[in-house]
Amino acid sequence: MAEQVNTPADALDCVRSIALALPEAAERPSHGAPGFHIENGKFFAYFWHDHHGDGETAVLLKTTGAEEQTMLIEADPDLYYKPAYLGSSGWIAIRVAAPDTDWDHVADRIAVSWELAAPRRLLEAGGR
């Protein structure tokens, strides 16, 4: 997935395409931002653009917890950051505004987040 992304709308289109391709994924607004969840279940991703004036365009995703969150931020602080509100629950933000965004990497992280939110029945059915 080597898409050229130049605007927040382009980035949202990419995130939406990746997220909604996952089993039983659906979209609904949450606190004024596009949120992606498993139908009748938990959210696994949010798209934020300039959320409360932070100047970032990012996808927010679940991690296994604070340890993984810290490891990701320390490994690549230009890509990852701890988002407001959800960061205290171990969520991570991935910046997606750059034209050279690695969308394959973003897709992998979205899929991992989906797996962390998915009910056992979906995971046992083969998940993604």
What's the pLDDT at 122? 87
Tell me, yes or no, whether 99 lies in a domain.
yes
Tell me, yes or no, whether 127 lies in a domain.
no
Q: What percent of the chain has pLDDT over 70?
A: 94
Tell me, yes or no, whether 2 lies in a domain.
no
Residue 95 phi, psi (nearest 5)? -70, 130
pLDDT in tens, 77-102: 999 999 999 999 999 999 999 989 99
Tell me, yes or no, whether 128 lies in a domain.
no
Please state whether the predicted TM-score (pTM) of the whole model is above 0.85. Answer: yes
Domain that holds residue 59: 8-121
- Write the CATH number for 39: 3.90.1150.30
Residue 60 pLDDT more than 80? yes
CA angle 18–7–101, rounded 5-degree value? 55
